[in-house]
Amino acid sequence: MSRQYIDCREFPSAMNCSVALSADNDKELLEAAVQHAVAVHGHTDSPELRRQLSSMFKQGTPPLQAAQVRTASA
């Protein structure tokens, strides 16, 4: 299996979190992402949180620069 990552910079939040996590397997990345989501963002560890985080995994490694997040204009 190839390296995967999840990047908080892609998801706007009040705290402007800049953490990006990567690992060589799904299980390791999911555990790190859950720990981060609970400890830093105040989420509760649940099967739903784990499904949501898993669906956000991307192949490769996080880019050095954050991707531009598109938001709807008011």
Mean pLDDT of the chain: 88
Report pLDDT for 13: 78
Q: Is the pLDDT of residue 51 over 50?
A: yes
Of 8, 6, 3, the residue nearest 25 (C-alpha): 3
Q: How far, in Å, CA of 74 to CA of 67, rounded?
A: 21
Taking 70 as the threshold, does the pLDDT of residue 20 lie above it? yes
Cα–Cα distance list, 4 to 15, 26, 33, 60 (Å) = 24, 8, 12, 5
Residue 8 DSSP class: G
pTM over 0.75: yes
pLDDT of residue 73: 44
Mean pLDDT of all residues in 26-44: 96
Q: In the beta sheet, which residues pair with residue 28? A: none
The half-sphere exposure of 10 on its side-chain side, counting CA atoms within 13 A, is 13
